């Protein structure tokens, strides 16, 4: 086997492995697996259309969580697109995202829908919040109950 032939075979194996990596990543993410450490959305090749579509949808959900869009999240939840296993690219749960971003109405809604923190996350301790934030959570609870 010539050196050029060997190099071509090696390159083909690398490409195949790379392609397999992205499809395997998509499959595992769809099953609720965590994102790889230091995952970079922008490193995904543009040819990986299904994975990119999945990631864009995930980013949309992250935006909805951080912007407090309960109605849209409810529609995605009802359509089983947004699920309890949802995580952002840093592997934070939906509960954790809304708690950190102080989107307390969404936080309370998620709790009523059965969302919880992941095992590896700090628990969202309402008692540790300032009184004003605790009051916001109480108000959110009243709003959610009356809807």
Domain spans of the chain, in order of start? 3-145
The residue among 5, 45, 11 whose CA lies nearest residue 25 is 45
Mean pLDDT for the stretch of residues 103-129: 92
pLDDT class for 105, splitting at 50, 70, 90?
Answer: very high
**Residue 120: predicted pLDDT:** 86
| 139-to-34, 79, 130, 136, 145 alpha-carbon distances in Å | 33, 28, 14, 5, 10
Q: What are phi and psi of 31, to 5 degrees?
A: -90, 5
Predicted confidence band of residue 143 (pLDDT cuts 50, 70, 90): confident
Distance from chain centroid for Cα 129 = 24
pTM for the whole structure:
0.79
């Amino acid at each position: 086997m010539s050196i050029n032939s060997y190099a071509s075979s090696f390159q083909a194996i690398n490409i195949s492995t790379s392609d397999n990596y992205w499809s395997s990543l998509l499959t595992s993410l769809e099953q609720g697996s965590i994102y790889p450490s230091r995952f970079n959305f922008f490193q995904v090749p543009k040819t990986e259309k299904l994975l990119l579509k999945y990631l864009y949808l995930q980013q949309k959900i992250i935006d909805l969580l951080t912007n407090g869009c309960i109605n849209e999240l409810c529609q995605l939840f009802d359509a089983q697109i947004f699920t309890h296993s949802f995580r952002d690219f840093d592997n934070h749960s939906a509960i954790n995202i809304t708690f950190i971003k102080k989107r307390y109405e969404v936080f309370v809604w998620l709790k009523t829908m059965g969302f919880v923190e992941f095992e590896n996350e700090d628990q969202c301790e309402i008692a540790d919040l300032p009184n004003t934030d605790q009051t916001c959570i109480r108000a959110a609870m009243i709003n959610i109950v009356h809807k």
